[in-house]
């Protein structure tokens, strides 16, 4: 198991439409701010175990843990720019992806 | 009446110059759609795991990317009909987000399809004789060709019949469906290479021997990616009747000796590099001599049947120059600039080849909205026999436009935001999708292209700079062809930040060369400054008639490195 350095969330892609999803308290969420945050290695392992179950249940694919930092509002933000891109959408099309819905843009 | 005339009669407005599926082709593609529909159903039901399903979806062009699935649609040798372009637009509206991305493989990618919709999308493609087969996986990919095929004045022979012949040979070839790695073939029939054949796994150049017979110079082992190589000649003149057998021999040698133990060393370029071209040539010739060539015997009737589909359209007899065009250029300077930059000479008097740039200043290279696709389809029908091409430079070509019609065409394009007069200039940047979409990317590439494009937004300055190819990749896989850019930019990750490595001196043509690294990587913000310094230095140093790469070759890489070092010392922090 990789050394636990930062809080983590579990990221995946929804099987049917490919959209990025995050494991929340009671299932997969499309908004990363509702993700469950693992504060230690044991909690991270529990997230991964849930992810593996949902791979087997054909709900999600491409599941992995991502390091996050916790903002003043308590919401997690990915630390790496790749995952920051995934929680928003293409930086060159702000009208698309999750960022569009957040700003009331095109679906 | 010829077969071509019959086709036109069966389908009003059908172009007369592109391949059309026969019953076998149509049934083959329909069966494949039905097969994939069943595979998707089984995946969604849980009968197939992702591990089991992944090879099936990849064989049908469906990837999983950063934000969604991505579907790569094959556009064989970059040739499209107006009807097909309209269907691509309709698919973008119905199942995607209203746009598509034309790629450096002359294909089109949709960035947002849903898995559940993909069988319907493939069905819609099959309706217009298109598919996504072999746009992924370790097989022979979409065969690419010169985008000026059939109309270029410097052409010995139209490469599209050869490309179509190879497409049929390589589609679901049982021996080559699980190669060590992917395999890319490009064909040109011209004296100038517009298809980058020297950086493909196999590059074919149609040539004529001393007796005037048509044959092929066969180049093998070119490629970009992690280990870039310029291909080497394995057959100087392969007669047409031996082409399939010769290529079969190359693929067999690769299939037998290619490195399957390490995916980074599995391309044929590594095999050629490690063994040497002489050993590879000997192995190919031995295989060629030993094999049962009767299986691959050339069928001239079949070749002619295919070639007939690419017969020239019914051109009018016209004077070589157009008074209408001359007058319009005098009246409209913006149009004159468009003609000077985006219009190329045609082999038929009175006609022209038009490059429609998909690189508006500050835009996303290669992207077209569904409305723009429809405008292009309309334009091709009104002005160009209903035919379009996709170039590996991510632009659209209208290959048969009367010079008299250029002004009307330009107005139509201009109204749709498609008249940027920058073909081949500094803002005509090749760029892969990079980390804005691609799961393999290590950095973004599109925003770098946009920033450079904006930096050089003054079109008169661009014209002064002249032809200059900037190519950007968002990872070492080099989909943006950065190794063969006169200026290449490679996006990497450095200490958790995006970093851009710049190379100079790349060339994708018959004088091919791989770019040399300029120095340490720079930040995204610094990149336009560095490019501008390099361009300014070139302008100061060039002698009349020199392009950027000419100057670089004449004065040497070190001089370009020096100028940046001096700029850094002067406080430019480069």
Give the pLDDT of residue B564. 79
Chains A–B, number of C-beta pairs less than 8 Å apart: 69
Residues 6+ apart with CB under 8 A from B238: B215, B216, B217, B218, B246
In chain A, the DSSP E strands lie at 8-14, 20-24, 27-29, 60-70, 76-78
Give the pLDDT of residue B293. 92
Put simply, the answer to whether B43 touches A55 (Cβ < 8 Å) is no
Structural domain containing residue A33: 8-102
Put simply, the answer to whether A81 touches B68 (Cβ < 8 Å) is no
In angstroms, the separation between the Cα of residue A65 and the nearest Cα of chain B is 15
Residues in B closer than 8 angstroms to A85, CB to CB, are: 66, 435-436
CATH of region B3-127:
3.90.480
Put simply, the answer to whether A55 touches B435 (Cβ < 8 Å) is no
The ipTM of this complex is 0.95
Considering only CB atoms, A55 lies closest to which of B50, B64, B116, namely B50
Distance CA B230, CA B235 (A): 15
pTM > 0.90: yes
CA distance readout (Å), B259 to B68, B218, B235, B530:
32, 22, 23, 39
Distance CA B66, CA B475 (A): 14
pLDDT digits (tens, 9 = 90+) for A10-28: 999 999 999 999 999 999 9
**Interface probe, candidates B58, B65, B67, chain A, greatest A C-beta count within 10 A:** B67
**Interface probe, candidates B43, B57, B66, chain A, greatest A C-beta count within 10 A:** B66
Looking up tokens 């993700």, which residue turns up? Answer: A35
Distance CA B268, CA B234 (A): 13
Give the pLDDT of residue A103. 62
Give contacts of A 48-67 with B, CB under 8 A: 55, 57-58, 61-62
**Interface probe, candidates A88, A90, A94, A97, chain B, greatest B C-beta count within 10 A:** A90
Range B141-159 burial, b when 16+ CB lie within 10 A, else e: bbbbbbbbbbbbeebebbb
Give the pLDDT of residue B141. 94
Give contacts of B 478-517 with A, CB under 8 A: 496-498
Distance CA B554, CA B537 (A): 13
Query: What's the angle, vertex CA B459, arms to CA B530 and CA B489, rounded to 5?
Result: 30
In angstroms, the separation between the Cα of residue A15 and the nearest Cα of chain B is 7
Give the chain B residue whose CA is nearest to the CA of A107. B97
User: Residue B341 — φ and ψ, nearest 5°?
Assistant: -100, -40
Considering the domain B159-309, what is its CATH architecture? 2-Layer Sandwich (3.30)
Cα B172 to chain centroid distance, Å, stands at: 22
Q: Tell me if A107 is assigned to some domain.
A: no
End-to-end CA distance of chain B: 67
pLDDT digits (tens, 9 = 90+) for A55-95: 999 999 999 999 999 999 999 999 999 999 999 999 999 99
Residues in B closer than 8 angstroms to A82, CB to CB, are: 66, 435
User: Residue B219 — φ and ψ, nearest 5°?
Assistant: -110, 140
Pairwise pLDDT comparison (A5 vs B6), residue with the higher score: A5
CATH of region B430-572:
3.30.413.10
Give the pLDDT of residue B10. 37
Q: What sign has the CA pseudo-torsion B46, B112, B223, B76?
A: positive
Fold identical between B3-127 and B159-309?
no
Residues 6+ apart with CB under 8 A from B141: B105, B134, B135, B182, B183, B184, B185
Q: Tell me if A2 is assigned to some domain.
A: no
Distance CA B464, CA B123 (A): 48
DSSP A3: P
Alpha helices in B97-148 (DSSP H): 118-127
Put simply, the answer to whether B68 touches A18 (Cβ < 8 Å) is yes
Give the pLDDT of residue B573. 44
Give the pLDDT of residue B567. 64
Structural domain spans, chain B = 3-127, 159-309, 430-572
**Contact by Cβ (8 Å): A36, A28:** no
What is the Cα gyration radius of chain B?
A: 23
End-to-end CA distance of chain A: 39
On the question of pLDDT at A102 being above 80, the answer is: no
Give the chain B residue whose CA is nearest to the CA of A21. B67
The structure tokens listed for B218 are 């066969």
Adjacency order of strands within the sheet including B69-73: B62-64, B69-73, B108-110, B99-102, B367-369
In angstroms, the separation between the Cα of residue A58 and the nearest Cα of chain B is 6
Mean pLDDT in runs of 10 for chain B (574 residues)? 34 62 94 98 97 95 98 97 97 98 97 98 98 94 96 97 94 89 96 97 97 97 96 97 96 94 94 97 97 89 92 96 98 98 98 98 98 98 96 98 98 98 98 98 98 98 97 97 98 97 97 96 96 97 96 97 71 44
Give the pLDDT of residue B16. 57
User: Residue B474 — φ and ψ, nearest 5°?
Assistant: -95, 5
**Contact by Cβ (8 Å): B401, B409:** yes
Give the pLDDT of residue B177. 87
In angstroms, the separation between the Cα of residue B314 and the nearest Cα of chain A is 43
Count how many domains chain A has.
Answer: 1
CA distance readout (Å), B67 to A49, B120, B435:
23, 21, 10
Considering only CB atoms, B68 lies closest to which of A19, A61, A81, namely A19
């Amino acid at each position: 198991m990789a050394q636990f350095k930062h809080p983590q969330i579990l990221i995946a892609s929804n099987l049917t439409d490919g959209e990025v999803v995050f494991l929340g308290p009671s299932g997969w969420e499309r908004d990363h701010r509702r993700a469950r945050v693992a504060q230690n290695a044991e909690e991270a392992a529990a997230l991964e175990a849930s992810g593996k179950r949902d791979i087997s249940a054909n709900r999600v694919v491409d599941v992995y843990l991502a390091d996050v930092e916790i903002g003043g509002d308590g919401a997690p933000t990915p630390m790496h720019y790749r995952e920051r891109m995934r929680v928003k959408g293409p930086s060159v099309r702000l009208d698309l992806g999750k960022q569009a819905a957040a700003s009331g843009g095109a679906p | 009446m010829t077969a071509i005339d019959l086709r036109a009669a069966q389908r009003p407005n059908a172009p007369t110059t592109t391949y059309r599926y026969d019953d076998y082709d149509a049934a083959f593609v329909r069966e494949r759609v039905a097969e994939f529909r069943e595979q998707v159903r089984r995946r969604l039901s849980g009968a197939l795991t992702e591990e089991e399903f992944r090879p099936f979806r990849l064989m049908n062009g469906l990837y999983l990317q950063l934000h969604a699935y991505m579907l790569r649609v094959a556009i064989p040798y970059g040739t499209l009909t107006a009807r097909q372009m309209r269907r691509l637009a309709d698919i973008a509206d119905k199942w995607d987000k209203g746009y598509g991305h034309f790629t450096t493989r002359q294909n089109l990618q949709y960035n947002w399809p849903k898995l559940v919709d993909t069988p319907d999308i493939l069905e819609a493609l099959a309706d217009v004789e298109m598919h996504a087969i072999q746009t992924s996986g370790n097989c022979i990919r979409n065969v690419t060709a010169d985008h000026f095929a059939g109309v270029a004045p410097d052409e010995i022979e139209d490469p599209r019949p050869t490309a179509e012949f190879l497409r049929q040979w390589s589609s679901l070839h049982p021996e080559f469906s699980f190669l060590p790695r992917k395999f890319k073939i490009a064909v040109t029939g011209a004296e100038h290479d517009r298809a980058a054949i020297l950086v493909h796994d196999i590059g074919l150049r149609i040539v004529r021997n001393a007796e005037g017979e048509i044959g092929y110079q066969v180049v093998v082992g070119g490629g970009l990616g992690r280990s870039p190589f310029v291909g080497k000649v394995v057959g100087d003149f392969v007669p047409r009747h031996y082409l399939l057998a010769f290529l079969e021999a190359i693929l067999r040698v690769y299939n037998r000796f290619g490195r399957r133990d390490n995916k980074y060393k599995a391309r044929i370029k590594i095999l050629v590099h490690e063994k040497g071209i002489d050993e590879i040539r000997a192995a190919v010739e031995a295989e060629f001599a030993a094999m049962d060539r009767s299986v691959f015997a050339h069928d001239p009737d079949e070749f002619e049947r295919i070639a007939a589909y690419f017969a020239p359209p019914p051109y009018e007899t016209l004077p070589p120059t157009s008074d209408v065009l001359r007058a319009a250029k005098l009246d409209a300077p913006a149009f004159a600039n468009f003609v000077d930059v985006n219009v190329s000479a045609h082999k038929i008097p009175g006609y022209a080849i038009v490059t429609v740039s998909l690189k508006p200043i500050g835009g996303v290279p290669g992207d077209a909205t569904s409305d723009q696709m429809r405008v292009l389809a309309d334009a091709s029908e009104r002005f160009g026999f209903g035919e379009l091409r996709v170039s590996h430079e991510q632009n659209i070509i209208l290959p048969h436009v009367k010079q008299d019609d250029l002004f009307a065409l330009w107005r139509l394009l201009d109204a749709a935001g498609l008249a940027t007069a920058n073909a081949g200039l500094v803002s005509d940047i090749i760029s892969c999708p990079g980390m804005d979409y691609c799961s393999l990317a290590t950095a973004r590439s599109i925003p770098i292209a946009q920033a450079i494009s904006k930096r050089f937004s003054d079109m008169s300055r661009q014209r002064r700079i002249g032809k200059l190819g900037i190519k950007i990749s968002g990872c070492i896989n080099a989909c943006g062809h950065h190794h063969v850019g006169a200026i290449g930019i490679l996006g990497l990750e450095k200490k958790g930040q995006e970093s851009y490595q710049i190379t100079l001196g790349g060339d994708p043509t018959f004088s091919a060369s791989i770019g040399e690294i300029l120095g340490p990587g720079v930040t995204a913000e610094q990149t336009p400054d560095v490019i501008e310094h390099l361009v300014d230095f070139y302008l100061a140093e060039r002698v009349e008639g020199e392009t950027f790469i000419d100057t670089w070759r004449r004065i040497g890489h070190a001089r370009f490195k020096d100028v940046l070092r001096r700029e850094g010392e002067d406080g430019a922090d480069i």
